Amino acid sequence: MDAVVLIGSFMLLMLIGVPVAYSLGLAALVGALWIDIPLDAVMVQIAAGVNKFSLLAIPFFVLAGAIMAEGGMARRLVAFAGVLVGFIRGGLSLVNILASTFFGAISGSSVADTASVGTVLIPEMEKKGYPRPFATAVTVSGSVQAILIPPSHNAVLYSLAAGGSVSIAALFMAGVVPGLLMGLTLAALCLLKARKHNYPKGEVIPLRQALKIAGEAMWGLMTMVIILGGILSGVFTANESASIAVLWAFFVTMFVYRDYKWRDLPKLVHRTVKTVTVVMILIGFAAAFGYMMTLMQVPMKITGFITGLSDNKYVILALLNVLLLLLGTLMDMSPLILILTPILLPVVKLLGVDPVHFGMIMMVNLGIGLITPPVGTVLFVGSAVAKLKIGVVTQAMMPFFVALFLVLMMVTYLPALSLWLPRAMGL
């Protein structure tokens, strides 16, 4: 009955339109009153939830991504991707996917990826003869790579939700191969579409111009080298790499590219602070909600229920995939990671699934949820950028959903895709 009160109050608050973060906090208070524990204990858990050193990585990565997104990085990455693959039939769709790969490795955000790359490429693709819904579908689908390719904010959240037992560096490295696999799968689909519909080829860019474009893009791509190189070499931690990435992004944007005006910088910082504030409120309230679940033994009860359905690891993983896909269409990614990780991680550990591997399974599932109606945040952003109705974009995305589902199956049932690189790096 305790669990019914806690989870039921949370669902009721959600249904009447209370924001997710406040629903978590209020449900925790209701649960505390129900089992008659001091409300001070809930407040302590909220404070403890955000009083973690590892959380410093989130605001720094968000700020670095925002600076690069608004400082001309997206345009230069698109141009560089055009040099590499733009001359192939359907090349602009490949440019879109590759630009999302590059930008995702800098921003770590699917929303920023869609907004930045989409603003540049959706109009350009339509101008060159691609249907606008197809161009939007490519942009939205390609942005899911940012969930996996480091630096991923959601990997930091997963590590936090796992109680700090999973290394952020290991999660960063685990996302590299699945992220690249996703990009290659989407690129293959775009090539098939291009051949079927006879989409245009781009022009080969002259060598001198190509070198200039590559030189400009390399300044931004060095951000990725700094983040990953520093962590893997042991020169600095994930938190330190995030702060250094901010300094590098600021230097490149304001002193190398010089496209961004100094007077606009306070507004950018203000938007970043607002974003981070929302995330931190969510983390604090989710910590209190998780504390109440632990007191009520909700994770243990759910573990017993799921393992009672089957003792086959692959069947259980299939059921968890269905659950995550369904929930991902109804809620945003960050709260789901914070809520579900403490519940589901004991289940998969009992089955012998590596926590890093399960992190990638969760990321792919919930990443697909970001582009799926009715609550697909990234889908909404892509539709707004393209000025198309959600239904039109969703219809164009059907083949891309199939491609992403194939990637999900490979990530789920081929653990080596996620675990090979972290183990090779000794993480």
pLDDT tens digits, residue range 321-373? 998 988 888 777 888 898 889 888 988 888 889 999 999 999 999 999 889 88
Cis peptide before 266 (omega within 30 of 0): no
Amino acid identity, residue 409? M
Q: pLDDT, tens digit, for every residue of 114-142?
A: 887 888 888 888 888 889 999 999 999 99
Decide: helix, strand or coil at residue 89. strand
Contact 153, 109 (CB under 8 A): yes
Using a pLDDT cut of 90, give the percent of the chain over it. Answer: 19
Per-residue pLDDT tens over the stretch 387-425: 888 889 999 999 999 999 999 999 999 999 999 999 888
pLDDT tens-digit readout, 257-302: 887 788 888 888 888 888 788 888 888 888 888 888 878 877 777 7
Give the span between the Cα atoms of 375 and 371, in whole angstroms.
Answer: 8
Handedness of CA 140, 339, 160, 345 (dihedral sign): negative
How many residues does the structure list for the chain?
427
Q: Give the pair of three-digit tokens for residue 246.
A: 């901010």
* Cis, peptide link before residue 415, omega less than 30° from 0: no
Using an 8 Å Cβ cutoff, are 356 and 174 in contact?
yes
The predicted model gives 376-388 an average pLDDT of: 86
Neighbours of 145 (CB within 10 A): 28
Q: Half-sphere exposure (CA, 13 Å, Cβ side) for 18?
A: 15
- Look at residue 19 and give its three-state secondary structure: coil
HSE-CB of 178 using CA atoms within 13 angstroms: 42
Contact 109, 65 (CB under 8 A): yes
d(CA 158, CA 397): 28
DSSP 280-321: HHHHHHHHHHHHHHHHTTHHHHHHHHHHHH-S-HHHHHHHHH
